[in-house]
Amino acid sequence: MAEFLTHIFQLSRLNLIKMPKNKHIITSVNKRALIKLIATTGLASLLMHAPRSAHAASKSNALELAHGIIKKAWLIDLPSGLASPISSRTSSAPQHNAPAIQRATHWTKQWLRLVVKYQQNPLRASRCIAHAEVAMHDAWLLAATRGASAETRELSAHRAVSLVLQHLFPNETPGFFEVQYAWLASQLLASNIDQDLVETAGVHVGQAVIERSLRDGAGRTWPVRDRPKDFPGMWQAAHPIYAVNPTEPYAGEWRPWLKPSPQRYQPPTAPRPGSEQHRRETREVLSVVRNLTAKQLEVAERWNLEAGSVTPAGVWMQHAMDLLVRSQIPGDAFEAGIAILAATAVAMEDSFIACWRIKFRDWSERPITAIRRDLDPEFTTPVVTPGFPGYISGHSTLSGATSTVLSHFWPTEAPLLNAMADEAAVSRLWGGIHFRSDNDEGLKVGRAVGAEVVAAL
């Protein structure tokens, strides 16, 4: 991969491939030259044999996909006078699951690599993948409403997401995302592609998603003066990192993809010092950590996902891709793949936003603060206590939302998906960094967010 990109970069410097820039995105004036280069030099095989996620390699029992047809957009408004959104259960060319799913998940795998490379925090990672997957989803849909072929619909999706990721990861090798797009284009039957429509739909949606990312509130800087006055049980900088300023305190005010339902579950105020529940849960964390089993420690460490990991969002997206690989999908597998990944990504970002809204509503202390104050001044945790309020748990909220959405698509997998979410939640108790109520309430909020995403499909 590195050798391939170096070659492309050298060609661009020699002006054999031109990559002019506008305000936000890079587009190529010579895409056909890129496609020809990839198709004729054998470089496509180099891209196809790039390292794959271990999760995606699993092919056990085949699963039945219950849903997966794109019906309406997550962001764009469809112009009036166009055809109604259609199901692509028939295609102008025969489709096989494996190649179509490989292309549908290609950008998700690139995102996983970039999250690790740039050590994004979990909130930023979920925000990036939501914008990327929505770009694919809505570009596919816009092309479909214009009566486009299956190949044109798919390439429109690739065009949009390549522009969005170029915007979100501006420090990547010049031309990297353009080359990925060109390689994917080379995998499709060129005679069935309307290149003008690809540019119209893909660039339109890509630009719309980019503009949204510039106005979603994620660029705000938190001033220390916004920290509330101290009160009993308020979050404090804690051992071992002693972070004075919390992580992403404005994330609860980021723009969600779906307007929260007025009926969405709202957790009660976090238990405060002096209450029986707070005393009981504090003692529980101390007891759990002192009597931790090897299995519990392994689970706590596996779900810890510190800086430089794929983050919780990455773990769940890997699982979603694994389910897609194992599924028998009738009709257009690419459509099903991007529909599922978009819904999953929307649920992840919206659940984090909901979680952070509660965290900075209550500013609740972490167990290590309570235990060192009331029970054991030398107490330490098996995993590092994060630098932000505890109630409610982010892992739990995201896992509750994601498991709910994936269970909608794979009902037979619901027990395993719910068990995975429960494990993610309890792992935070076993790690000594969350009270039980942090996890239980997080799962409830997450499952409420997931149910709203399912209702919007």
What is the pLDDT of the chain when averaged over all its residues? 86
Q: What is the mean pLDDT of residues 69-80?
A: 86
Distance separating alpha carbons of residues 338 and 154, to the nearest angstrom: 10
pLDDT the model gives residue 7: 45
Inter-residue contact 441 to 267 (CB < 8 Å): yes
Distance CA(376)–CA(32), nearest Å, equals 67
Q: Indicate if the pLDDT at residue 123 is higher than 50.
A: yes
Instruction: Quickly state the pLDDT bin for 94 (edges 50, 70, 90).
Output: very low
Least Cα distance to 436 among 356, 364, 349, 361 occurs for 364
Q: How confident is the model at residue 225 (pLDDT cuts 50, 70, 90)?
A: confident
How far apart (Å, rounded) are the C-alpha atoms in residues 19 and 203?
A: 15
For residue 71, the model assigns a pLDDT of 83
pLDDT for residue 81: 54
Evaluate if residue 27 carries a pLDDT over 90.
no
Longest dimension (CA), the chain: 72
299 pLDDT higher than 60: yes
Length of the chain: 457
Report the pLDDT value the prediction gives residue 82, as an integer from 0 to 100: 54
For the segment 166-181, the average pLDDT, to the nearest whole number, is 96
Of all residues in the chain, the percent with pLDDT exceeding 90 is 76
Closest-CA residue to 126 (of 245, 244, 257):
257
- Would you tell me how many other CB atoms lie within 10 Å of the CB of residue 101? 21
Is residue 25 left, alpha or beta, with left meaning phi > 0 and alpha meaning psi from -120 to 50?
beta
pLDDT on residue 328 = 83
| Concatenated DSSP letters of 196-219 | HHHHHHHHHHHHHHHHHHTSSSTT
Using the predicted structure, report yes or no on whether residue 58 has a pLDDT greater than 70. Answer: no
Residue 427's CB: how many other CB atoms inside 10 A? 27
Give the whole-angstrom CA distance, residue 450 versus residue 457. Answer: 11
Rounded Cα distance between 438 and 285, Å, is 12
Output the CA–CA distances (angstroms, integers) from residue 3 to 8, 27, 204, in the order listed.
9, 22, 32
Mean pLDDT, rounded, for 328-356? 94
- Span 397-437, pLDDT tens digits: 999 999 999 999 999 999 999 999 999 999 999 999 999 99
Contact 432, 386 (CB under 8 A): no
> What is the percent of the chain with per-residue pLDDT over 70, rounded to a whole number?
82
Write down the pLDDT at residue 330.
77
pLDDT band at 235 (very low <50, low <70, confident <90, very high): very high
**Whether the predicted pLDDT of 281 surpasses 60:** yes
Q: Has residue 55 got a pLDDT over 50?
A: no
Q: Which CATH architecture has domain 251-456?
A: Orthogonal Bundle (1.10)
Q: What is the structure's pLDDT at 68?
A: 59
**Which region among 54-58, 71-75, 193-197, 220-224 has the lowest average model confidence (pLDDT)?**
54-58
CB of 168 closer than 8 Å to CB of 148? no
Going by pLDDT thresholds of 50, 70 and 90, the confidence category of residue 70 is: confident
pLDDT at 193 over 90: yes
Domain locations in the chain? 2-51+94-213, 251-456
Which H or E run includes 407? helix 394-409
